[in-house]
Structures are given as structure tokens and as C-alpha cells.
């Protein structure tokens, strides 16, 4: 009897990703990486994801807060009582912070919580969040999608995970005079710790029209648009 072996979505996705394009944005907080990715989603049929999407979802669950508290830029550096370590319902994380000498009752900023929870999750498995994004990319590729935008490339581990997929990877560094100044407690944020090599530089003056034109003029994006028109 002949047996038929079906590929898993991840296996099928990895195969089809070799024909895909990934544009990954890197740069300091507040430079407009999300806005740049939105241009690709709105005008070029890209699918978009952030390495921090899963991170924010996990935090919103274990702190029992609205996920928007982690993305509202005006309060991202503001210490909030609701984000104190003691408000977390993950005992292992609370113990980890306590053993590190952290206060359990001090109000913490969304940025601090994001950084600490990511460090906690990746302490034994550095590729924890990169693996989540890779699984998503493979699943979407198995469904026929071929264009992807990554909004928050920050770590060499993430670069390696994307490069291993075999897709056409283009790294774009976004610059802006409005980049956020990090507080001393989050000075080791990965956007400050690593300076990744980039294929292209993009200057954002925070004019939406200008940003759209600049993103669409990026060589890999312009080439994809030309493929559609031909």
C-alpha cells in the first residue's frame, strides 16, 4: 500500500518562504518603524508582525491588564502601580525578580516590564520569540502569502532566525529626530545594546506623505511593485 506523507505547515512554509520577501525594520524606539511597516501593509499587500507581539500578549495575561497599556507611547516610560512585579500572577517570574534584588511593590514602566519579561523568557532559550515569529511566517507562507514586514528587528538572534528561512531578507534602519529617550532603568534595551547591519537607511521626518514615498522608494519595495505591474 502506498503511503502519502503530508508536509506540516511549517515544512511547507519553509519551502515556500524561499520565494518570499521579508522587509525588517530596525532602529531606536519612536523612530516610526510601525508606521513604515503600515505603508507596506496598506499599499503593497504585505503581512506584518512584530517579535514583541507575543511578548505583549503574555504580559497582558499575567498582569491582567489591557494590552494597550504596553503600546501607548506617551506612557510607555511612565512607572505604573499596575505593573509592579508583585502584581504579576506568574510566581516563577516574581521569584526571579526577588532573587535579583528587584522591588516587588515599586511601580514599573511598560518598557521595563517588556524588557524584564523578555529576558526572563529567553534566559534558557534565546530564540524564544524568534521561534514564534518563524512559526507564524511559515504558516502564512503555507497559505500563499509571500510578502512580510517585521516591525521591530533588534537582536542578532532574530536576524539569524530570519536569514535561516532562505527568504529575501532586507533590513531597513529607520532614523528620526523624535526617537524616544530611554530611562536609566531600561538603558540595556536591545535597541540600544545592538546595532544591526542594515541594507538600507530610511529617514522619517514624521510626515506621513513623505514616509509613504520614502518607504515605497526602497529598492526591494519598488522591485516588488514593478513585479505586480509587469
Tens of pLDDT, residues 135-176: 999 999 999 999 999 999 999 999 999 999 999 999 999 999
* All domains in the chain, ordered by first residue: 9-52+126-229 (3.40.50.300), 54-121 (no CATH)
Of 54-63, 181-190, 192-201, where does mean pLDDT reach its minimum?
181-190
Q: Is the pLDDT of residue 12 over 70?
A: no
Q: What's the pLDDT band for 51 if we cut at 50, 70, 90? A: very high
Sheet holding 21-26, edge to edge: 47-49, 147-150, 21-26, 168-175, 200-203
CA-to-CA distance for 44 and 27, rounded, in angstroms? 22
Q: What's the pLDDT band for 179 if we cut at 50, 70, 90? A: confident
Looking at per-residue confidence, does 184 or 230 come out higher? 184
Tens of pLDDT, residues 87-137: 999 999 999 999 999 999 999 999 999 999 999 999 999 999 999 999 999
CA-to-CA distance for 108 and 26, rounded, in angstroms? 25
pLDDT of residue 6: 45
pLDDT of residue 11: 64
CA-to-CA distance for 98 and 80, rounded, in angstroms? 19
Q: Is the pLDDT of residue 21 over 80?
A: yes
Q: What's the pLDDT band for 177 if we cut at 50, 70, 90? A: confident
Amino acid at each position: 500500500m502506498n503511503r502519502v506523507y503530508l508536509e506540516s505547515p511549517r515544512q511547507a512554509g519553509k519551502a515556500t518562504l524561499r520565494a518570499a520577501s521579508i522587509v525588517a525594520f530596525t532602529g531606536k524606539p519612536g523612530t516610526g518603524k510601525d508606521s513604515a511597516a503600515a505603508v507596506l501593509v496598506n499599499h503593497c499587500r504585505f503581512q506584518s508582525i512584530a517579535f514583541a507581539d507575543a511578548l505583549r500578549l503574555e504580559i497582558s495575561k499575567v498582569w491582567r491588564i489591557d494590552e494597550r497599556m504596553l503600546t501607548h507611547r506617551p506612557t510607555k516610560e511612565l512607572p505604573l502601580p499596575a505593573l509592579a512585579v508583585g502584581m504579576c500572577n506568574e510566581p516563577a517570574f516574581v521569584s526571579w525578580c526577588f532573587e535579583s534584588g528587584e522591588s516587588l511593590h515599586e511601580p514599573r514602566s511598560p518598557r521595563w516590564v517588556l524588557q524584564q519579561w523578555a529576558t526572563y523568557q529567553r534566559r534558557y532559550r534565546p530564540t524564544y520569540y524568534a521561534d514564534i515569529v518563524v512559526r507564524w511566517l511559515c504558516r502564512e507562507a503555507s497559505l500563499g502569502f509571500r510578502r512580510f514586514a517585521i516591525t521591530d528587528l533588534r537582536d542578532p538572534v532574530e536576524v539569524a532566525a530570519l536569514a535561516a528561512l532562505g527568504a529575501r531578507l532586507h533590513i531597513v534602519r529607520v532614523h528620526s529626530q523624535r526617537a524616544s529617550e530611554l530611562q536609566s532603568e531600561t538603558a540595556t534595551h536591545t535597541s540600544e545594546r545592538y546595532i544591526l547591519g542594515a541594507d538600507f537607511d530610511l529617514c522619517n521626518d514624521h510626515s506621513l506623505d513623505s514616509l509613504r514615498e520614502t518607504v515605497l522608494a526602497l529598492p526591494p519595495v519598488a522591485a516588488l511593485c514593478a513585479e505586480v505591474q509587469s
